[in-house]
Amino acid sequence: MNTLKWLFKPSGKAETKDNEPPISTEQLLSKIRGEHLRLTEIEEQCHFQSLQIDMSKGYLEKANRETGADKATIVSLRVQVAQLNTQVSNLKKKNSSLLKASEDAGKKKKDINNKLQQQVSQLTADLAAAKVSLGEADLEIDKLKAARSELQFECELLKCTNSKPLPEIASTALRGDSAPIPFVLVLVDGDAYSWSARNFLQKTSPPGAQAAYAIKIQVRDYLLANKDRLPLQSRIVTRVFCNFDGIPGLEKRSGKYMHNTLKDFAKSFTQSTPLFDFFDAGYGKERVDEKIKETFHLFVSNPQCHAVFLAAAVDNGFARLLEQYACDEAIREKVVLVHPGYIIHEIADLNFKAVEWPTVFQRAKMPSDALSKANKISDLLERREQSNTTELNITLTKLHSEHVRMRPLRNLSIRQPGIWTKPTGEEGHNESTVRLGAADAPLEELD
């Protein structure tokens, strides 16, 4: 009705223009209906917009509430960020102090390392000097031991010769008197043995002469230790055989200690003592072996040769040489094997006397092939011994079983071969009982 009042004035008459025709009632009603429909649509749109506005207000209120919560969260986060900034600041301060302390520690460590390096360098130099001094002291000790050995040898020799001076003994030998001159023989395989490094440290004498002197001291010590059966006045004959061309220089044998050639070594060795010789046997290992073997055969049966020192215990080829004399007690008493720390197994099985001369020959290890062969032989012998033990146990078991079967006849004894009789008394055997040994004892003893 309000809308109709707005459309029509209260006068009740519709204004018309002069040039327009009058509107009929039906037209007016139709127009009113159209306006009413349009207003209805407008009203619905307004209602829909109102609903949307209300909904938007609800969303806005919710958003405001969430924004408030977010604001509170932001405030707390800001507080936490401020705290973290404070902690970061503190950590930066600590880090700077730690860096400074680390720099100071690095400087101190560097200073300590420098001092330690200086001390290590000083200690290394002192150690090197101490080693040199120790080497010199060892050389002096060796000299003193050699001098003492010589004095002891001369004293014992004077006692044995009724205080007869040594020069007189030598002059007697040189005059060719009929009295036999005892001697001992030293044979060396120069291809197989390495000379001790001590022989190359002496500055007062050539290495070859020092090696000859070391051999002389070792032989004299052996004579002194066995003076009850060996004459102390025995001359020392030494022969070394090797292939000069096979060993171009002693650097191969003695490393940094030797700067001379083998010929120089052999020359000083030979010139040091009249009965010491260093021979070039020529090319081929068998040449050295043959010369040593023939020299050994020549002197070992000589009654004036009281000992043979054989420095050839690392080659199985010399086992054939020694096997010929293994059952000769007189020869076994003479032969002494000189080894460099080991004896090859075939020679060791012959059980000759053996000594080691560390001041003459360098210590060595058994070659791997020889060691493997020795281990195989040892294992074979052990298995054979175990096999023999097993066979013995089987035999004893059989005897025990036979004994069990023969228990009714245990009081019988052997009176004569092939004749079984009962004993006459309670002792078990009469006077004519034949005793056959432990293997044929009464079977009761096997229990």
Boundary residue ending a domain (318, 351, 366):
366
How many domains are contained in the chain? Answer: 2
Judgement on whether residues 223 and 348 belong to the same structural domain of the protein: yes
Residue 91 domain flag? no
Q: What is the DSSP string of 334-388?
A: HEEEEESS---HHHHTT--EEEE-TTTB------HHHHHHHHHHHHHHHHHHHHH
- Considering the domain architecture, whether residues 441 and 344 belong to the same structural domain is answered as no
What is the pLDDT at residue 423? 41
Domain match, 332 and 422 both: no
Task: Determine contact, residues 153/220, Cβ cutoff 8 Å.
Answer: yes
Residue 399 lies in a domain: no
Same domain, 351 and 444: no
In a domain, 64, yes or no: no
* Closest by Cα among 359, 389, 388 to 138: 359
- Find the length of the chain: 447
Q: Are residues 359 and 447 in the same domain?
A: no
**Beta-carbon count within 10 A of 179 CB:** 8
265 near 250, Cβ under 8 Å?
A: yes
Q: Are 428 and 413 in contact (CB under 8 A)?
A: yes
Q: Within the chain, how many helices (H) and strands (E) appear?
A: 11, 8
The answer to the question of residue 297 being in a domain is: yes
Q: Is residue 400 part of a domain?
A: no
The domain containing residue 417 runs over which residues? Answer: 406-447
Half-sphere exposure of 134 (CA within 13 A, CB side): 6
Q: What does the longest C-alpha to C-alpha distance in the chain come to?
A: 196
pLDDT of 434 reads 35
Q: For CA atoms 113, 114, 117, 119, give the dihedral sign.
A: negative
**What was the pLDDT predicted at 173?**
47
Q: Are residues 362 and 425 in the same domain?
A: no
Q: Are 334 and 447 part of one and the same domain?
A: no
Answer with the one of 317, 337, 366 that is the final residue of a domain.
366
DSSP label at 433?
A: P
Name the token pair of 388.
């023999």
Best CA proximity match to 410, nearest among 438, 435, 446: 446
CA distance 377 to 382: 9
- Tell me which amino acid residue 302 is: N
Boundary of a domain, candidates 305, 336, 366? 366
411 shares a domain with 358: no
Residue 215: inside a domain, yes or no? yes
Contact assessment for residue 247 and residue 262, using Cβ atoms and an 8 Å cutoff: yes
292 occurs within a structural domain = yes
Amino acid letter, 194: S
**Is 264 in the same domain as 312?**
yes
The residue type of 327 is: C
Q: Are residues 209 and 311 in the same domain?
A: yes
Q: Does residue 323 share a domain with residue 414? A: no
Distance (Å, whole) CA 283 – CA 281: 7
Predicted pLDDT at 201: 74
Domain check: are 200 and 316 in the same one? yes
Q: What is the pLDDT along the chain (447 residues), one digit of tens a residue?
A: 454 454 444 544 445 455 666 778 888 888 888 888 888 889 888 989 889 998 988 888 888 888 888 888 899 899 999 999 999 989 998 888 898 888 889 888 988 999 898 889 888 888 888 887 777 677 667 667 666 766 666 666 666 655 444 444 444 444 445 568 899 999 999 988 989 888 777 767 888 899 999 999 999 999 999 988 898 889 999 999 998 876 544 544 444 444 457 888 899 999 998 999 999 988 877 889 999 999 999 999 999 999 999 999 888 889 999 999 999 999 999 999 999 999 988 899 899 999 999 989 988 888 776 666 666 666 666 666 666 666 666 676 665 565 444 444 444 333 444 433 444 444 444 433 333 333 334 433 333
Domain presence at residue 143: no
Q: Tell whether pTM > 0.85.
A: no
| pLDDT in the model for residue 2 | 53
Pairing of strands 305-311, 335-339: parallel
Of 355, 354, 297, 376, the C-alpha closest to 331 is: 297
pLDDT for res 440 = 39
Q: What is the rounded CA–CA span in Å between residue 353 and residue 348?
A: 10
Q: Which residue is it, tokens 């020529």?
A: 282
